[in-house]
Chain A
């Protein structure tokens, strides 16, 4: 997987995020951030610090669209940092991660663990930073649950369709 493909996918996913998923105002608790797909599926070839910089940039761009300066940035940096360690824990064969992270490289069980844990962590971080107080904790948890579910389904479906 070369980087032009990664960037192309990022642009397409961001368009989908901004034009479709950001327009969803259903139920008041549904804000799926599907753009994390690009960060989650990025191959592990670069040093971790560069990965985190890429995460910071992607979060920053999302912040501009969401009027939430810094919130997505902080969450994406955390996502990129946690992702490296999580992959180390659930994948034995490091060689496979150099091409593409996905169903083929990880297998269904590891992929599910990887996506669910990181998406929930990212969404929880975004919503708690936006709420910035414990008084809305019930709302934040519900929002995380509903939104993560949709993001996870989207990412798993994307992987299933791309599986060759």
Chain B
């Protein structure tokens, strides 16, 4: 017993080192597996406030392009209004506009923080889009701020479809270029041409059907491969993201409960 104590004392520094490292790795593991605590991330009030102040200042430098984007969106909305069929069943959707207060685009696990939280009805798993196309999925919700996992995060998977023949694939990101993502699970017999349009499939309650995602930049089919390697040019310009809309599906809870009931 005494010897054991002696050994423990002798290597106490090393043991403390190991214990602390184990704690840190547990945190990393927890963070990858479950939704992170909103206190200990950029959804934290103080941290998010700080980011908001910075984006407040840097926002002035992109006013021109923001205005152009808003004008284009207005035009598109007006067109959609004219074209809308009055007999169409009203969709159970509600959009909440949010401002991006912090965002990274050049890491492997990019995140963006938006200034809407649980008090605005944001719930984990809701889709986020902007006027250009799909942006990402809400990952962590704080009271006033939320963290969104964008399409350009290597952990994001989004079910998409080709508009030309409704063929389904999964959109992923390889961590290289924020302008391009990769579409997986498209079988070799499919004919894929550059310029094909990709939209959300509507198969998950995250996004409604038909939100623009991108267009096919190029596709490679190697000898013996059973799936295409497709590179998709994303509509959303993540480098200039300032305002987004959170898609709140009023039936989301019901859809999720149904899905959970099946398991």
User: Which residues of A approach B to under 8 Å, CB–CB?
Assistant: 18-19, 23, 25, 27-29, 31, 47-49, 52-53, 56, 59, 63-65, 67-71, 73-74, 77-78, 81, 129-132, 136, 139
Contact = CB atoms under 8 A, between A and B. Distances in A.
B109 A81 contact: no
Contact of A25 (B36, B47, B106, B108): B106
Q: How large is the interface on B (under 10, 10 to 19, 20 to 34, 35 or more residues)?
A: 20 to 34
A73 B17 CA distance: 12
A28 B179 CA distance: 13
B173 interface: no
B28 A49 contact: no
A64 B21 CA distance: 17
A74 B41 contact: no
B20 interface: yes
Contact of A53 (B20, B29, B30, B54): B20
Contact of A130 (B16, B41, B108): B108
A68 B147 CA distance: 12
A136 B41 contact: no
Nearest to B12: A49
Interface string B1-36: 000000000001100110011011111111110001
B20 A70 contact: no
A47 B12 CA distance: 11
B41 A64 contact: yes
A28 B42 CA distance: 21
B20 A56 contact: yes
A20 B183 CA distance: 36
